[in-house]
Structure 1
Amino acid sequence: MSISGAFSNALSGLAAASRAAELVSSNVANAMTEGYGARSLHLSSSTVGGAGSGVRIDGVSRHVDEVLIGDRRLADAAIGFHGAQEKFLEGLTRMIGTPDQPGSLSDRIAQFEASLIEAAARPDSDARLSAVFGAAENLIDHLKNSSDHIQKARLDADHAIAQQVQTLNDGLQHVQTLNVKIQEAQWRGVDPSGLMDLRQAKIDELSPIVPLKQLPRENGMVALITTGGAVLLDGNPAKLGFSSVGTIVPEMTITTGALSGLTINGRTIDVAGDQSLIEGGSLAGQFAVRDVTSVNAQERIDGFARDLVERFENTSHASGGTGLFTDAGAAFSAGSEVALSTRLLLSAAVDPDQGGAVWRLRDGLGASAPGNVGSATLLNQLADALNTPREPASGGFSSVARTSSGLASDLVSIVSSEQLQAETRLGFATAQYQTLRQMELAKGVDTDAEMQKLMQIEQAYAANARVIATADEMIQTILAI
């Protein structure tokens, strides 16, 4: 080998060692950086005319476990889906209240019953009759507040959907931009690893919203599809569409067209059930809260309100087809049950603010004048109506006959059970995510291995430098002859 050949070989070795040291320093510096893929240098021997000509840098590899990352993203999406459900159900459970909580639905029923018993013991007491009226009003207010809570949760979900759709659209556009930059970098022979880190971080931001699968494409580009089969990015990003509303009432549903569904590139897609193209992320979770879970909860609240109205329809000498509890002052019709809990009113005959009088609780809603102040017959009938077992006609309850307090307990039990199930699923998804995340971190930068590699790089650099120094001495010796 000629002296110039040795000099050239050593120079290529110095360049390779320098590049390797640069990658080691980058790996060590980013050992704690989330989404960073460790880099390694690929080298091969260079030949010219069949003879060795130093070392050639073939490129840089970025090391990540795509399968593990994909599983972690799916677990993250599951957290988003079950988290939305659990948050709504936890809030609803707290709103309705458990039987041991003051001010809960069961407590309101108990107070109403207690006030009726006390009034029956002293039917001549206007104060006790007023207490019955107040307890009934409190019960109505609790049902209205529960319904308002449900509709506010639906509105919050609707706004969350709009925000997440916007995040998806912006994020998909960003990923496509990075795709193009990575492709351009590879064409220019520039290491695109940094751009790939940014792309992974951006996809990670989108994965809690919809469950994503990442598919490789040519020149380092990737495609994104949901586990349900919706193509969100493959060349060009998809455009998701959604229209939010300013207010939601129980009568507004996606079925009636009063609420917006989701479109992809202008085509309406199914957002619920096993056929949903977005099933599994927080976006599907918010749709489920707005259109399924909360709607079912509203039906149960309205079913309870209907049971309350029907229990008292034939008591207190009802006049005009109404009992103590009315549908906005009128008789209840089974065809207008939706939002009944928001329209509940006590009969105007017993409401002083509507020209009524509380003594009609004792003497009958149709009484024109006070009767026997010592008679507790009608008050006992009211108490009996509250405690008579009857089958609820609606609300998704079982057909078992139960008292009003029993129905309230069943309502709380159903919601609490659904919350517990959602909490269990959320806990499983969280544990799965944390496990996968730890596995992913464990496969990150190994600083001990990087330090060992750095020592080898240092030795190689020193050896190549020594070859250059020796070649220089040889050339100087020749020049001195």
Structure 2
Amino acid sequence: MSVTSTLGNALSGLTAASKAASVVSSNIANATTEGYGVRQVQTTSVSLNGQGSGVQVVSVSRNVNEGVLADRRAADAAYAQAATLASFYGSVEGAIGLPGDEGSLSSEFSQFEAALVEAGSRPDSDARLANVVRAAESLAGTLNDLSADIQSERLEAEKEIARQVDNLNTSLAQIQDLNGDIRLQIAAGNDPLGLMDQRQVLIDQIATIVPVSVVDRDFGQVALITESGGVLLDGTAAEISFRDVGLITPDMTVASGGLYQVEINGSPVDSTSPNNPLKGGSLDALFEIRDELAVSAQGDVDAVARDLIERFQNSAIDPTLSAGEPGLFTDAGALVDPANEVGLAGRIELNARVDPAKGGEVWRVRTGLGATSPGDPGAGGIILALSDALSEPKVVASGSFSSIPRTAAALASDLLSTIGAARQASENEVSYTAAKWETLRSLELEGGVDTDAELQKLLMIETAYAANARVIQTVDEMLDLLLRI
């Protein structure tokens, strides 16, 4: 081996060691950087005319466990979906309130029932009659507020859908640009790995909204396909659009034309279809809340309101009522129309005839809504009939309740139980998906930067660098010796 080839081999070793040190330092510096893929130097020996000519750096690869990464992204979507649903059920349960809590639906029913019992024992007491009116008005107001809270949840879901659609479009456009930049860098022989790290972070953000699979394309590019086969990105990004509204009322649905679905490249997406291309993830959960869960909850609350109104619009309870006249509770002043039940909980109100704020008289609780004079102060028959009607077991005419007869208070408790059970189930799903995510995240991190291993590599690189430097130093000394001869 000539002195020249020896020097060339040593110089190539220095170059390779220098590149390896640079990669190791990058790995250590990015040990906690989200989306960073561990770099690894690929080297090969070089031969010239059958003789060794040192070492050559072939490439720097980005090592990521794609299988674990794909599973973790699926767990991201499942967790986001479960957490979104759990949050909705928790909010509705909080709006209904727990038994014993001030202002809860169960407490309002209990206070109204207690007020009727107290007034029945002393029908001559205007204070007790006024207490019945206040309790009834408070109960109707609680149902009004509960209906408003449910529609508020729908509106919040609507706003969040619009925000997430904007995020999807932005992220997809950025990934499309990164795909193009990566292609250009590879074609130019430059390092595209930093761009791939940025792309991974963006794909992770999309995966919480919509679960996606990543399909490799030529020149380092990727395509994004949803679990149901929808193409979000393949060369060019899909255009996802959504038209949100500023106000949602109980009667507004997609079928009625009051609400809108997402469109992909101008084609509407049916969020209720098993083949929904955006199924899974937080976006799917938001549509489920807006179009199904909140609608069902509103239907059950409306059923409670209808049951309450119908219990008292009966001339057998109040003989002073004429045909077509509402009882103690009304649908915005009128009788209940079963064909117009949607949103009833938001319209239920106390009959104006007993409401002093609307020109009514509290003594009509005792003498009847159609009475024109206070009548006998000691007559408590109508009050007792009202109390009996409230506590009479009845089969609910609507909603998702079973056909078991219930008192009004029991119906309110069953409403809370239904929502509470759904909340508990959704929270269990959150716990399960969170545990699964933690496990997959740990596996992903295990495949990330191991600083201990990188430091060990650095020691080996330092030794190799020093050895090659020593070879060059030896060659230099040999040349000096030749020159002195």
The answer to whether structure 1 residue 144 and structure 2 residue 144 are counterparts is: yes
Q: Which moved more, 1:455-464 or 1:393-402?
A: 455-464
* Superposition deviation, residue 471 in structure 1: 2.3
Is contact 1:140-1:345 (8 Å) kept? Answer: yes
State the partner residue of 1:425: 429
* Superposition deviation, residue 32 in structure 1: 2.2
| Aligned partner of 2:390 among 371, 386, 391 | 386
* Superposition deviation, residue 273 in structure 1: 4.8
The answer to whether structure 1 residue 369 and structure 2 residue 373 are counterparts is: yes
Query: Structure 1 stretches of 5 or more lacking a match?
Result: none
The answer to whether structure 1 residue 332 and structure 2 residue 333 are counterparts is: no
* Superposition deviation, residue 3 in structure 1: 1.7
State the partner residue of 1:91: 91
Is contact 1:272-1:284 (8 Å) kept? Answer: no
Question: Aligned runs of 1:33-52 on 2, under 5 Å?
Answer: 33-52=33-52
State the partner residue of 1:241: 241
Q: Distance in 1 between matches of 2:479 and 2:97?
A: 92
Q: Distance in 2 between matches of 1:257 and 1:212?
A: 30
Q: How many residues align?
A: 481
Q: Distance in 2 between matches of 1:246 and 1:385?
A: 41
Q: Distance in 1 between matches of 2:369 and 2:276?
A: 53
* Superposition deviation, residue 154 in structure 1: 0.8
Amino acid at match of 1:2: S
| Aligned partner of 1:438 among 442, 445, 449 | 442
* Superposition deviation, residue 226 in structure 1: 1.3
Q: Which moved more, 1:274-283 or 1:348-357?
A: 348-357
Q: Distance in 2 between matches of 1:216 and 1:182?
A: 13
State the partner residue of 2:456: 452
State the partner residue of 1:120: 120
Is contact 1:316-1:324 (8 Å) kept? Answer: no
State the partner residue of 2:62: 62
Q: Per-residue CA shift, 1:427-453, capped at 9, x if unaligned?
A: 111111111111211221112221221
Q: Distance in 1 between matches of 2:256 and 2:415?
A: 27
State the partner residue of 1:107: 107
Amino acid at match of 2:333: G
The answer to whether structure 1 residue 316 and structure 2 residue 306 are counterparts is: no
Amino acid at match of 2:438: Q
The answer to whether structure 1 residue 471 and structure 2 residue 479 are counterparts is: no
Is contact 2:46-2:55 (8 Å) kept? Answer: yes
State the partner residue of 2:359: 355
Which SS does the other structure have where 1:207 is aligned? helix
Q: Distance in 2 between matches of 1:396 and 1:77?
A: 29
Q: Distance in 1 between matches of 2:277 and 2:289?
A: 17
Is contact 2:141-2:349 (8 Å) kept? Answer: no
Is contact 1:216-1:222 (8 Å) kept? Answer: yes
Q: Distance in 2 between matches of 1:250 and 1:266?
A: 27
Is contact 1:316-1:361 (8 Å) kept? Answer: no
Amino acid at match of 2:411: L
Is contact 1:13-1:55 (8 Å) kept? Answer: yes
* Superposition deviation, residue 210 in structure 1: 0.9
* Superposition deviation, residue 348 in structure 1: 2.3
Is contact 1:117-1:380 (8 Å) kept? Answer: yes
Q: Per-residue CA shift, 1:411-464, capped at 9, x if unaligned?
A: 000000010011111111111111111121122111222122112111211221
Q: Which moved more, 1:464-473 or 1:87-96?
A: 464-473
Which SS does the other structure have where 1:208 is aligned? helix
Q: Distance in 1 between matches of 2:171 and 2:257?
A: 28
Q: Distance in 2 between matches of 1:312 and 1:163?
A: 46
Is contact 1:182-1:192 (8 Å) kept? Answer: yes
Query: Structure 2 stretches of 5 or more lacking a match?
Result: none
Q: Per-residue CA shift, 1:299-357, capped at 9, x if unaligned?
A: 00101001011111103232343111111111111100001111112222212233321
Is contact 2:223-2:234 (8 Å) kept? Answer: yes
Amino acid at match of 2:444: E
Q: Distance in 2 between matches of 1:301 and 1:180?
A: 53
* Superposition deviation, residue 185 in structure 1: 1.5
Amino acid at match of 1:417: A
* Superposition deviation, residue 17 in structure 1: 0.6
Q: Distance in 2 between matches of 1:76 and 1:45?
A: 43
Q: Distance in 1 between matches of 2:451 and 2:367?
A: 87
State the partner residue of 1:223: 223
Is contact 2:309-2:329 (8 Å) kept? Answer: yes
State the partner residue of 1:9: 9
Q: Which moved more, 1:200-209 or 1:380-389?
A: 200-209
The answer to whether structure 1 residue 32 and structure 2 residue 36 are counterparts is: no
TM-score normalised over the length of structure 2: 0.97
Q: Distance in 1 between matches of 2:460 and 2:196?
A: 28
Q: Distance in 2 between matches of 1:409 and 1:230?
A: 43
Which SS does the other structure have where 2:208 is aligned? coil
